[in-house]
Amino acid sequence: MTGRHPHWRFFLLLIACWSISNLLHAQSIQGLVVSIADGDTLTVLDAQKVQHKIRLAGIDTPERRQPFGQRARDALSAFVFQEVVLVLTEKKDRYGRWVGKVISDGRDVNLALVVDGWAWHYKKYAGEQSASDRLLYANAEEDARSQRRGLWSDPHAIPPWEWRAGSR
């Protein structure tokens, strides 16, 4: 077999290195949520008393001064404030915040905000999500829209990325 396909071992080695590289980049942060900045940003205090700013991955919520901004913040607070959470993250954003999926009591909090109608599925970054998360988040947004939950009670809800662009 090695005579006909001399590169198969090299190919397997590349796959193994790629998989290990992804695992090395992935990390988790566990700690107590001590602050909620807005509907998609919170602060976690870990066991070493280090604070980590977290931006929820895969979603975007209304800005604080935007309609439904305070309600989105309140919804996130109701899910996680003063709770111990697990954050699954792979990167930091341009503001130095960890971007990740927040898990509380086994529940994907990012997805829960979309389900309840307080967040958009942030399709601009959907390529960074797993295929299953992309599908879950997209379907959750469609369902929230059709049921007019949360911010979808306003038929003219403005996505936060458009709101931010308009305020510049």
Calpha distance 51→17 (Å, rounded): 32
Q: Specify which residues 13 forms β-bridges with.
A: none
Q: Which of the following is catalytic: 4, 55, 94, 107?
A: 55
Calpha distance 12→101 (Å, rounded): 30
Instruction: Respond yes or no: is residue 97 known to be catalytic.
Output: yes
Alpha-carbon torsion 116, 118, 124, 130, what sign?
Answer: negative
Q: Which of the following is catalytic: 4, 63, 145, 148?
A: 63
Instruction: Respond yes or no: is residue 83 known to be catalytic.
Output: no
- Two tokens, residue 96: 């130095």
Instruction: Respond yes or no: is residue 145 known to be catalytic.
Output: no
Q: Which of the following is catalytic: 94, 97, 145, 164?
A: 97
Long-range contact list for 42-45, CB < 8 A, 24+ apart? 42/76, 42/80, 42/102, 44/85, 44/87
Contact 40, 93 (CB under 8 A): no
Residues taking part in catalysis: 55, 63, 97
